[in-house]
Copies of this chain bind each other. A is one copy, B any other.
């Protein structure tokens, strides 16, 4: 169900990106192209947040309630990493 939702959003982004490629082919105004690229990035941010939410409510809960300490640390470390990267893109 959540995968369906993610896929639907990503395919919308794909359509949006193809529209931007067409804009560039037809020599659209630079600033308009940049604005569309920024809209795509905002949509991608939304998808990432949604994927993270699902991840927290499944794998992360399982790992933290599990008995494997290494696995728990790994899963938590990944979250810090994607958070840190999200401040850079």
Contacts and interface: CB of A to CB of B under 8 A. Distances in A.
B37 A48 contact: yes
Contacts of A33: 51
Interface in A20-36: 20-21, 24-25, 27, 30-31, 33-35
Interface string A33-54: 1110110111011111101111
Interface string A47-67: 111011111110111001100
Interface of A: 3, 6-7, 10-11, 13-14, 17-18, 20-21, 24-25, 27, 30-31, 33-35, 37-38, 40-42, 44-49, 51-57, 59-61, 64-65, 72, 76-80, 82-89
